[in-house]
Amino acid sequence: MQRRELLRIAPGAALGWMMPPALRAVRGKTGKVLYFTRSAGFEHSVVRRKGAAPSHSEKALLEMGRRAGFEVECTRDGRVFDGSLDAFDVIAFYTSGDLTRAAADGSPAMTAQGKQRLLEAIAAGAGFVGFHSATDTFHSRGPREQNQTEVDPYIAMLGGEFLAHGPQQEASLILASRFPGAGNLGMAEGIAFTDEWYTFKNFRPDLHVILAQETQMMQGACYRRPDFPATWARRHGQGRVFFTSLGHREDIWLDPFFQAIALGGIAWAMGRVDFDVQPNIGQVTPRASQLKHAV
């Protein structure tokens, strides 16, 4: 499939080539993000710490916050959710596995009560931002290769659940929304670069799709399915939820498009900019819940 205009972002491209209105909306106003990176499953290199030094993604998000005018507190201590979360405007996750269980790095686990407090805080108005493997966290019970009728409460909040991924490759994302950060590409219809691309299941029907994964030219059996949401937003009670599947590789965290869409998501989740996240999953990716191509 050929598109009228497809932007390709090269690793190491100069930062600052796009400044989303959402970024300007955050600048000069107080805001605080809790960045939680505990890995009870697979630990990605971008959240791996060496000694006391911040991880690659922590450094990147701290710098993004410095430029955009919000604070970032980084932790992998699950006990933080047993205390008050009122100090945080946004809670951001780059996590994996069942966070109430032990992790290889020995970091304290989240309690069942802490998980409930997290979900209650979001429903009451806190923002939530999920990166990449945030969908590979708190899996739903039932056959892995099927959608579930009852999903884990965390997955219900987030809006979708990790299913599988194939080899890293260049792939295309369809721009489906003028959401802050994604709406600064002029007449582009899509964007392409290399990352590890997740597939998902258990989509909520109220997703506002921002970027859709175009599967037609992808390599790997797990991509033999119709296009599906890859970056989305939704409302959860009074809270604002944003997720992007991007962020597996170190170079992605320095990619100007990734930073623009991440900052747009944070600004919206923080309530510093408004955008109507009317559900559009049925129009943009009408067969998203079809996990395999029909024979």
pLDDT, position 131: 98
Q: How far is CA 250 from the centre of its chain?
A: 15
Are 226 and 288 a contacting pair, CB within 8 Å?
yes
Q: Is residue 230 within 8 Å of residue 173, measured between CB atoms?
A: yes
pLDDT tens, position by position, 185-233: 655 688 898 999 999 999 999 999 999 999 999 999 999 999 999 999 9
Distance CA 98, CA 130 (A): 15
Model-level pTM? 0.92
Looking at residue 189, its pLDDT comes to 84
pLDDT, the chain, mean: 91
Long-range contacts, 220-223 (Cβ 8 Å, 24+) = 220/165, 220/166, 220/167, 220/169, 221/166, 222/163, 222/164, 222/165, 222/166, 223/166, 223/197, 223/199
State mean pLDDT over 232-237: 98
Q: What domains, with CATH codes, occur in the chain? A: 6-284 (3.40.50.880)
> What whole-number distance in Å separates Cα of residue 135 and Cα of residue 163?
9
Q: Which of 42-56, 94-108, 182-196, 256-270 has the lowest mean pLDDT?
A: 182-196
pLDDT tens string 50-82: 988 999 999 999 999 999 999 999 999 999 999
**What's the pLDDT score for residue 1?**
38
Residue 182 pLDDT = 87
Looking only at the bridges linking them, the beta strands covering 190-195 and 169-175 are antiparallel
